[in-house]
Amino acid sequence: MKIEVLGMGCAKCNKLEENVRQAVKELGLKAEIDHVRDLAEIAKRGVMITPGLVIDGKPVSAGNVLSIEKVKELLQARQ
């Protein structure tokens, strides 16, 4: 599973990354987690509002800091 957190590195983007990492850990998943900070790359993924979350190439959230529980729900739905 490949997970991308999209955002320039603001507090909200960093919090989303932290929540994603914790959710992956709690679920015991093997996942590659990247934080994409380049605006052009973020736009290529179809996200115009950060923070954004992409799982296996599919944007699943934009403009929200998802809770650990919500991230876990999204990850479990993608398995």
State the catalytic residues.
Answer: 10, 13
φ/ψ of 32, rounded to 5, equals -95, 125
DSSP symbol at 75? H
Torsion angle of alpha carbons 30, 58, 16, 7, nearest 10°?
Answer: 120
Beta bridge partners of 34: 4
